[in-house]
Each structure stands twice: as structure tokens, then as C-alpha cells.
Structure 1
Amino acid sequence: MSGVLAIDAGQTGIKVRAGGQDLVFPGIDTHEELLPQLAAVARSTLERTGASASVVTAGVSGLTTREADAAALLARIAEPRVHEVILAHDSTTSFLGALGDVPGAVVAAGTGVVTLGVGATQVARIDGWGYLMGDAGSGYWIGREALDAVMRAVDGRGPATALRQVAEERWPDLTQAYIDLQADHDRVRVVASFAKHVARLAAEGDAVSQHITVRAGGELAHSVETALRRVRTDDSEHFSVCAIGGVFRSPQLHEAFASHIAASDFDVALVEPQGHGIDGAVALADLGPRHPLAPAVWRARG
């Protein structure tokens, strides 16, 4: 949409669309204040694209009520052409990008994970509680399980796994790995980076990696089923389910997830996404006040 600068802000990267151009910035630094980071991205985008944007929309990973201050972001952007800011959690923009107005659930699993179910009148957000308290089945969760399995193998508490060799490439002395990891400012991404190795080794037949992968698929499916149960008003309702994000590139994980969904007691179809989170961020500008997702959106006009 012309006149909209849309931001899809995640921990791994920030995607921006403005004036028909797509830009990519480094991901959100969760150790720093959020709004200054978003404002800097918006200002940089306006400078680089020359776009004439009157509305800034943003879907933000891990957005909290405390941080969702659209008026403060509008003030920080401090651009005369921008007269409106619309903020939402990235579960909202992921849903809009993937399913649009179709009732169902979208599970977005990358470094973290959040699932959003939307019914005729109700909305249910499941998980997305961060790496310390939740994010079951996410890239971080998979990486954490991988490192746990490695250290169990080192101790003799668990079976041997090819994941040990992967960990030793990063930390030759695994007895000191926990010290290095705890001191690493980028430790969340470091842990999550092991998810791709779990996917590869699962495909190559490593039993420990396969077990982690199947469990992750089950956790993600459980979140979807929980979301649909909370928004369902009629047992005959049909729902669409969309799985997006990097962890679903694993064929074994996707298969485990799909088999759980197929065995559920819902009338459900697993579908491909219509678009991406950045498309959902663009769609925020047109979200009507009576849409079930409207209460989960923060707006400010200047």
C-alpha cells in the first residue's frame, strides 16, 4: 500500500517495506529499549528510500503492553510526513500475512515461537513467552535440547550423538562451554543456531536429533490445538492452519507437526501461507475496528 512504511521486526532480522522497496536491518536487540530501535529503522528507511510514508506500521516480536506505546514511537520518529503509527505483536501480523481473514491458527516458529488462533469472535495467543519461560518447539528450544543432549553424552547420562561433534567445533573443550555461553551477549542466537544442525542430523539418521525434532513438532502442534480449542464456538467449524518460520524447513519436524494436526479432533486443513509477516504489517493499516484482532492493535495519530 502506498503511503505505508511497514516493519516486520524479529530477533533474527528486521524487514521493512516502503515505497515499493524492501530493506533488511539487523534483528531486535532484546537487551536494549525497543522503541528507539524501531524509530531508528523507520528514519533510516525514509532516508534510504525517499518514500512518502504517512503511516508507520510494525509487527514486533515479543511486544509487551508496556512497550506498545504508539504515541511514543510516533514522537521518536519525529518525521513531519508521518502522522500515524500502528503497533502489534508479530503474532498478529504473522496471522494477517499468512491467512488474512480466514479463521484458523498460525504458528510462527523461528528463534522464538508464537501461535495465534482467530475465530469468529475470539482470539487466543499461545506461548511466545520467551526463551526463559516458553517458546516450546522454537529454534532456541531445539538448540537448548541439543546442547542438553550433548552434555548428557559427555557425562554418560545420555546416548552418544553426532551433535557432540558440532558443539566441539564451537567449543573444543566442552567442559568450559557453559562458561563461554553464559558470558556471550549473543547467547540466544548462539543456542538457536544449533537447530539447523539438529534438522540436518535428524535427516542423516542421528537418533537423538530425530527425537528432539519429533518432540518439537509435537509441542508446536499442541500449541495450535490449544489455540483452536479456545476460539472454537461450534464443533462443526472449519479452520485453516499455517506453519511458518525457519524450524519448519526440517522435513522431519514438519511431518511430525502435520501428523499431530491430522490426528486432532478439529475440522482443519494445513495450508500454505498467502504471504509473509511483512505483508501482515502492511495489512495493519487497513484492519477494521470490528475485526477480532483490532483490540490487539495500538494506534496513535499526530
Structure 2
Amino acid sequence: MSTVLAIDAGQTGIKVRVGGQDLVFPGIDTHEELLPQLAAVVRAALDRTGAETSVVTAGVSGLTTREADAAALLARIDDPLVSEVTLAHDSTTSFLGALGDTRGAVVAAGTGVVTLAVGATAVARVDGWGYLMGDAGSGYWIGREALDAVMREFDGRGPATALTGVALERWPDLTQAYIDLQGDHERVRVVASFAEQVARLAAEGDAVSQHITVRAGGELAHSVETALRRVRTDDAEHFSVCAIGGVFRSPQLREAFASHIAASEFDVALVEPRGHGIDGAVALAGLGPRHPLAPAVWSARR
């Protein structure tokens, strides 16, 4: 029986759901072409599961208009049974997975971060502009702030922090850390990996880690408020807000985020996600043409 092969493609990992099975593959390599990577994942998933599918859907981290060539991906998959491909930015699939048809905003913060708000008639995306130009409050942003704090202490420009000990475990000679990091093909993931240590040390009372954590929560809340302001049609309109992704595992960050949202001008309720990004990728297959998110989806059929 034909089924949907759904992909939730992030920088940390790629999840695939097909034939009742969930598979995990290495994350997107942002230094390589996207479509060949996605096609390889599709073929590998079909080979491993033996599933027959006619529809491939994908929510992709950092998807650009140039990369969103569903017809090109369909051709690269080159499977006689696959007749349809649908692509969307992962902000779209994160929203569908977390809130479904509810009006509101979803902020998805892992290595990167993107916020998407959906109102009665409008959709607003905030951030998701990558580690060089945006992703405020993301795992990378937190890790970058942590390393900045380490080098400030090293120079005498900033206060002492337990983060220095974490950095020394990786780079015993801190004067060479920046050289090693700049030459590391995995540097984005390396930097983002420090976010977990920031969360741990914040919970243990490190003041610098706590400051970074609170600022990250504020940045993420600011993105949500900005997105909601762009889709609101009535001051009394109620919105659901859902916060997903690894950075929200930090209790202090989540508390800072919730505090900012509660103090905002909006009638909002923080809610738990109904599902995950992979569930949103599955939902792409049934997204109607009149849904507010439909213009943000690229499809090809044969």
C-alpha cells in the first residue's frame, strides 16, 4: 500500500517517518547542496524499510526559495513509485506539528531558531536567519555567548565563570581555541553544544551562565511577540504559544521565556505541543490550498 514518507530535516539530525517506522539520519550539512542530501535520505529510508510510497513531504531547517525546488527533488529521488514531493521550511512543519489549525505562534529553538505565527488571515515568520545573521536565543547563540564570556574572562575583560573549565576541557590552550574552531567543519554544532553546559551551570548557580540563559529567554519571547503583532487583527484576539526544541529543556530559560510572554500585551496561553516536527511533515500531505500556510509550501507532481 502506498504511504507518505515524511522528513523533518534539521542541522542536528534528520528524522524520517515511513511505513509506520521512524528513522534517524545525520543532520543537514549546510556546506553541501541540500537536494542531493534529501534525495539520499529518501532512497536510504526506502531501502531500509521496503516501504512503497507515492508522496514525499519534508520540513527543512533553513530552507530558502532557491533550494525549494520540489520538481528537482522529485527528479533526484528517481523512484517510479514516488509521484509527488512537497517541501516547506521547518517553521511551517513545526507549527503544524505543535498547534495544528490553532491560531498562535510556535518558536522552535535548537541549534538554530525560527518563530512562526499564524493568524486569521496572515502568517509571519521571525528570525531563522542562520547563525551569521540571526538565530537569537538559539543553541548556537547561547554557545557563542558562552565562548565570548570565556575569552572575556581569559583577557580580564569579564567576570569569572565556570564555563572556562568547560572550554578548557576541549581546548587546553585557549589561545589556540579560535584557530581550531574556525578550521572545524563542524564548528556550528561545536559552538551549539556549549548550550547544554550553559543550562547545567546556570542551574548550579554560575552567574554568567544565568545571565546568558535569561537573555536567551528574552530574545525568544521577543521574537514571539513580534510575530504575533504582525498577524493580530483584533486587540482582544487570543493566541496559543508553543515553545519547542532543545534549548527549552533548560528550566531557567523556559521560566525567563514564560515570564516575558506573561508580561506581554497579548492574550496568550502557553500550551504543550500536540506533536513534533515530524508530525507536521506528515500533515503537509493533507494541507488544503486555502490554509494560511499553503503559500509557504512548494509541491511538484508527475
Q: Same fold (TM over 0.5)?
A: yes
8 A contact 2:2–2:54 mirrored in 1: no
* Equivalent in the alignment of 1:100: 100
Deviation sequence 1:183-230 (CA, Å, 0-9, x none) = 101000000000000000000000000000000000000000000000
SS at match of 1:222: helix
TM-score normalised by length of structure 1: 0.99
Aligned to 1:296: 296
Identity, in percent, stands at 89
Amino acid at match of 1:97: G
Letter of the 2:101 counterpart: D
Partner of 1:135: 135
Partner of 2:248, secondary structure, is helix
Aligned equivalents of 1:207 and 1:187: distance in 2? 26
CA contact (8 A) 2:117 2:124 kept: yes
* Residue 280 in structure 1 maps to residue 280 in structure 2: yes
| Deviation >6 Å, runs of 4+ | none
Assess if the C-alpha contact under 8 Å between 2:85 and 2:300 holds in 1: yes
Opposite residue 93 of structure 1, the aligned amino acid is: T
Which residue of structure 1 aligns with residue 259 of structure 2? 259
Report Cα offsets for 1:33-90 as digits up to 9, x if no partner: 0000000000111111111111000000000000000000000000011000000000
Is residue 163–residue 209 contact of structure 2 (8 Å, CA) maintained in 1? yes
Q: Which runs of 5+ in 2 are unaligned?
A: none
**Cα deviations by residue, 1:249-292 (Å, 9 ceiling, x for unpaired):** 00000000000000001010000000000000000000000000
Match of 2:151 in 1: 151
Aligned to 2:163: 163
Using the alignment, how far apart are the partners of 1:75 and 1:2 within structure 2? 19
Amino acid at match of 1:267: D
CA distance in 1, matches of 2:44, 2:147: 38
Aligned counterpart, 1:216: 216
**Pairing 1:231-270 to 2, within 5 Å after superposition:** 231-270=231-270
Q: Output aligned runs, 1:150-229, within 5 Å.
A: 150-229=150-229
2-side partners of 1:2 and 1:276: how far apart?
A: 23
- What amino acid is the match of 2:212? I
Shift of 1:2: 6.1
- Aligned-partner residue type, residue 60 of structure 2: V
User: What amino acid sits opposite 2:262 in the alignment?
Assistant: A
Structure 2 SS opposite 1:54: strand
Partner of 2:115: 115
| SS of 2:53 mapped into structure 1 | coil
Contact 2:97 2:278 in 1 (8 A): yes
Provide TM-score, normalisation by structure 2.
Answer: 0.99
User: Unaligned stretches of 5+ in structure 1?
Assistant: none
Count of residues paired in the alignment: 302
For the residues of structure 1 that align with 2:267 and 2:51, how far apart are their CA atoms? 44
The match for 2:33 is 33
